[in-house]
Chain A
């Protein structure tokens, strides 16, 4: 077995971050293959349960990507996401669980390079943190 490769589940909104991922690909920007994308209509679609479930199932990190505040295609979905992610992170923190494994990022459709940078940085950070033992703890 080689170097530790974190598993990341990504929930990307259809209008901004998924389009940014498409743009990164079209521009042939390279980034680690660790992120496994799920396209959702909006970052506000993401039920906090999905984040916890991903961690329980063995993800080393979960990433939510939405439009910048004020730019949401569904008006305020991203603000709802921000609130929910904050709650999840607060709960994780209070249980002394690594809330750093949950990442919320605003990446607009034109920010292919930002998508590349955020995914690369998050992967690197998770590598430094090492494998998550949450799934073992919870099983």
Chain B
């Protein structure tokens, strides 16, 4: 203000609201003493017409150039007095409010003197501010006359229709696949008993057909930028994996889908398929595939074989499709071998274990499928097409699982592959180490042959390091993959180990597997507790020996698969736990073993308890043979000296954990040479991953990019464990023991078809869709696309309406009412579905546990509502009415039924509501009990309700067939995230706040963003629809203006002072500040600037200032406010 200040101070009494506490006369008197104040007065209601007139007259009369009104919060009347000033010819930005009501008289009601002094101080500070207020003119900004409506329930639909019918475009975004919201799920609506399907579907159809409405279902608001009139919105259109432009809505796909999911629309009272339309009247009437990510089984598999997929295809008895998934989708050479000997990490991760402790028999399913394949095609049938011949040559050392899988994958890509194998046959440890009764050799050999069939060469009987030098291979090939396994036996390091008659397990098993003669006496001792020990023991047994396994720890610590131990015991292998050999005794040939007893001490690094010898407990045992099965290690002597391949301290090859590259960039390694003795499937995984690296290397691609999820990982997806099919895991189909021990016939036989199909129903479908892709075949117009991606759609709108609705408090939050554990205690929306003709029981209420029609039903009001202990002190507003309606509808269907309704108060304050409740209360056998329910529990097949009848003072116990709870209404899921994206406030319970509870309920504090329906607070359909139209009217009144005005009180640069340092630019969240490249000063884009002042707070020179709240003004206010009262 350049001219001399002439300020007027107007102190409002606000009736007694201010004057009842504060001495307003004194405030006005003190204000008059402030230099620059030329006039001050008080008035009983300054905001009234005469009050405003007083301000206008005084401005004119005293030629005021600044005004301070001391009254209520500026959020209420700042605008009133700025407008009044404008009418008097004073620039409105020269008016400021001193808030002496909300922030002085009300919170200090009992201290009038102190309150008065505080008020004077605040008025004085405000006067000092106004002295430096400048005159400004609001900016005009354009309006993008399109609206975004978030939420496709009845509120969102109504608001969209109102705006669209006025001729403006609307983007309607709905999270679920269909619009309709909660209303469409109801049976009837109170008090008129209209059917919502009849009254809402026309509106849904209108919304989908109105050319001004752009419908985005299965979509969410990703981000919102900009400001009123000019919002930029990103909408994430989630992939439905169905091309909705092509989908005809016929539903043929659902017939093919084997995946049963809980139907959320029916509140879990029915199931739907993974490909689904939420309900028959859905708009748009199209199908969506429910995909939730990678399930734990597939994630745990080192080669990510789609376990869920082939289990589901098997459930559908589509073994052809299951075979494609098992064999072809991942080019799995060893599928049939895996079906027999895989350690099935998939089953280890299977979440079915949370239901009944037993994983789904995934390996059994695979066995059934590969046996089907062998039966049908006479052997393994894999896709042998080579992509495109390429010139690069790859050598692979070792024809085991890792080497052969890599060979197959690389050959498929078109590379020339040569495998070097020391033995006369392929298969590696599967060949030499696994007995035939577990893995018949013809099965394995047929799978090995696949690698040759696709065109990789296997050079048998060629030992690297002996028949050909490693260096020669490295020099002659473009890449080398070392997968030589771990075949060197460890020794015990005790006396007598070299005696005749002592075998190492791998050596022993290899001899048997190659049908060589093994001399075996009567008494055989097997040392060790792993799978090789079991294999050796069971093989020796089959050769007619009396076999004892000695293991230094107890059975619990055995590393062998429990099934194997069980089978060994069943077949007659004896076990001696907590003992260990200390010496082998004999004259040339072993005759006796000296052993020592052990006890378990502290856990070691592996977590197992360490065995400790018991001193003096030695004993001897007579034996004919000993088989040592205490582990193997890689034999890397073939690498030769100075191979340049770096090793680990454990004698394995050191590789990069992502690429499997060794210290020589063209040499890769995988399988047991890298890990030491490990599982077959891990080795196959290494082979696949090394093949990817080699392919990338040849193509000059990044070896690391996008490979985070290549190895096994954890997935936390879990299906609905509470509603899983109850079925014990199927028994394995095994040969009888007498048959087994006669020879080496395969023990586990093909699972029976009906049993395996039943077993596959035990899957709880953690990830939704199994990607079995049976739906694709059924879809005639070819609308299904399992590879469809999410889309981001960017739209520009001028206004936003938020209508995201409500959810019900989850049952788990109500432990005293069963906490969701009692099947026949359901929430009111579930009961709506039971009453609805479109519901799971076609309108006849049947209880979930046994499907019986309930003859006694108890309705419980205020389940969680009006209960601060549950965090919901508010009333959910609609429960009294819908419970009355539900009770009436129940009585209409079940004439001989009895219904009880526990209530605290009946709240029926709407048009026709009280009359409706009275009508219901007059029904026969419909008993209203005033009182709260204290406890609900199961007794036999009844649900017992304990409550009180406060009118008679009696305790009440009712044995009911079904209990319906009116769970408290809570904001819908995702409300908080949306509030943060929109930057609009929520109340402490999460409901959206209007700018003023009474006067601006539909507007948020953020200009241009409005709220409608239950997202604001629980309300019925009538109020929701009214609010929706109200919010639409707010939008339309905005759109009716040619331009919007924007507050000019934004940041401003004094270019004389600005040095162009750019610190302010970094602080601006809106990108409103740029540096003028020529003048080297900051420039504020006033349309983008929101006026937060973050830039001014850091400006070192003081060049950047907020208009009418600059540094000088604030410091002056601080000075005044720190004066003594």
Contacts and interface: CB of A to CB of B under 8 A. Distances in A.
Given A7-B1122, A24-B107, A77-B1069, A50 B1114 contact: yes
B1115 interface: yes
Contacts of A130: none
Given A15-B1005, A40-B1109, A58-B1122, A33 B980 contact: no
Contact of B1117 (A38, A49, A77): A38
B1121 A41 contact: no
Interface in B1064-1092: 1067, 1069-1070, 1090-1092
B1106 interface: yes
A9 B987 CA distance: 27
Interface in A39-77: 39-42, 44-50, 53-54, 57-59, 70-77
B103 A21 contact: yes
B663 interface: no
Contacts of B1119: 57
B983 interface: yes
B916 interface: no
A36 B122 contact: yes
Nearest to B1119: A57
Size class of A's contact patch? 35 or more
A33 B983 contact: no
B157 interface: no
Given A28-B109, A33-B114, A9 B1092 contact: no
Interface stretch (B472-480, B800-808, B1024-1032, B1093-1101): B1093-1101
Contacts of A108: 985
B1097 A41 contact: no
Given A7-B1122, A24-B107, A33-B115, A73 B983 contact: yes
B993 A110 contact: yes
A57 B1118 contact: yes
B234 to A, nearest CB: 16
B1113 to A, nearest CB: 10
Contacts of B75: 19, 22
A33 B73 contact: no
A49 B1099 CA distance: 11
A40 B1118 contact: no
A37 interface: yes
Contacts of A45: 1092-1094, 1096-1097, 1106, 1109
A26 interface: yes
Given A33-B115, A71-B985, A39 B1118 contact: no
A22 B103 contact: yes
B902 to A, nearest CB: 31
B121 interface: yes
A103 to B, nearest CB: 16
A84 B987 CA distance: 28
Given A30-B110, A110-B987, A36 B1094 contact: no
B118 interface: yes
Contacts of A58: 1122-1123
B74 interface: yes
A23 B115 CA distance: 18
A110 to B, nearest CB: 4
B102 A46 contact: no
Contacts of A50: 1114-1115, 1118
Contacts of A22: 73, 75, 99, 102-103
Nearest to A36: B1121
Interface string A80-104: 1000100000000000000000000
A47 to B, nearest CB: 4
A89 B458 CA distance: 74
B754 interface: no
Interface in B1102-1117: 1106, 1109, 1111, 1114-1115, 1117
B1111 A44 contact: no
Given A58-B1122, A109-B993, 12 more contacts: A19-B1005, A23-B102, A25-B106, A33-B115, A38-B1117, A41-B1109, A48-B1097, A57-B1122, A71-B979, A74-B1090, A80-B1067, A80-B1097
The 5 closest A-B pairs by CB, nearest first: A25-B102, A45-B1093, A74-B1092, A25-B106, A57-B1122
Interface of A: 7, 9, 15-16, 19, 21-26, 28-31, 33, 36-42, 44-50, 53-54, 57-59, 70-77, 80, 84, 108-111, 116
26 contacts: A7-B1124, A21-B107, A25-B73, A25-B107, A28-B107, A30-B107, A30-B110, A33-B104, A33-B118, A36-B118, A36-B1121, A38-B125, A38-B1114, A38-B1121, A44-B1067, A45-B1092, A50-B1114, A50-B1115, A53-B1115, A71-B979, A73-B983, A74-B1069, A80-B1067, A84-B1097, A110-B986, A111-B988
Interface of B: 73-75, 99, 101-111, 114-115, 118, 121-122, 125, 979-980, 983, 985-988, 993, 1005-1006, 1067, 1069-1070, 1090-1094, 1096-1098, 1106, 1109, 1111, 1114-1115, 1117-1119, 1121-1124
